[in-house]
Amino acid sequence: MATFQFPGQTAFYSGKVRDVYTIHDKWLVMVASDRISAFDVILPKPIPFKGQVLNQIAAYMLDATKGICPNWLTEVPAPNVSIGKKCNPFKIEMVVRGNLTGHAWRTYSSGKRMLCGVAMPDDMKENDFFPSPIITPSTKAEQGHDEDISAKEIITKGLATQKEWEMLSEYTLQLFERGKEIAARRGLILVDTKYEFGKIGETIYLMDEIHTPDSSRYFYADGFGERQAKGERQKQLSKEFVREWLIANNFMGKEGQTVPPTNEEWVNTISQRYIELYEKVIGKEFIPESLSSEETFERIVSSLVKTKKEVKS
């Protein structure tokens, strides 16, 4: 994917899956690439239309939740591009869990009953619903793995004030509830997800993507109870299947391990799984769009000019 240079550009950052351009220190142009990462490593081959899928699900979900809290998004000028306000980010991720799955289950099955300062009930099975959703935040690492952190530690370390933490928690639970409602209408269970927040002045904004397969885990609701009763694996929509494939091929991002090669068939399978999730979550047919770098650039510049005029007026 091409790297752009925009008028008024003041910074550029290339993340694992996104390229982020700062304009006049006030706006962000976020380009969702087709790169895919797992275990904090970028896999060798891009996944067709992954960037478009993530960007359009995030835009849909940000619009569906804008009544809960302000968010950063202002415009989506291209299939894989979002433009919005630049916020001063909280250096924490607000992870919220409705079910005992993933990292929470691994912690639980090791015998521990506390996660990020939150108590988990006894006698739960993998994938069971918590009595009510729990917030298990993590620090936002510049490099390497994010680390679990408790609310008390967040406040003690000055990552958020008590008042800010209370607001972040309230927003997180309300957003998760809305996400679960949207998922339920589509025959899905939103199992867990994460939110990132920032501030402009004293106002807290929801940032980045929400409720996408890269930031969330979904189960199919149909047959969930039966599978739980039988101790069977749950049918899910997320990128967990990519992690499982890597583990099966002896890769977990540890030192000395090599990323297994991916053939075209597997790349196309991943692409189709992402498209499946889009269509299931949004309830509309996915329309692939392939723009040239030149057309993408022109659309972004046109959008930035429009945004600048609207701000001045």
pLDDT digits (tens, 9 = 90+) for 20-50: 999 999 999 999 999 888 887 888 899 999 9
State the amino acid at position 106 in one-letter form.
R
pTM: 0.91
Domain spans of the chain, in order of start:
89-201+208-237
One-letter amino acid identity for 257?
Q
Per residue in 112-138, pLDDT tens?
999 999 999 999 999 999 999 999 999
Say which range, 114-128, 162-176, 196-210, 251-265, has the weakest mean pLDDT.
251-265
Find the helix packing angle between 50-64 and 264-282, rounded to 10°.
Answer: 20
Q: Spell out the CATH class of 89-201+208-237.
A: alpha beta
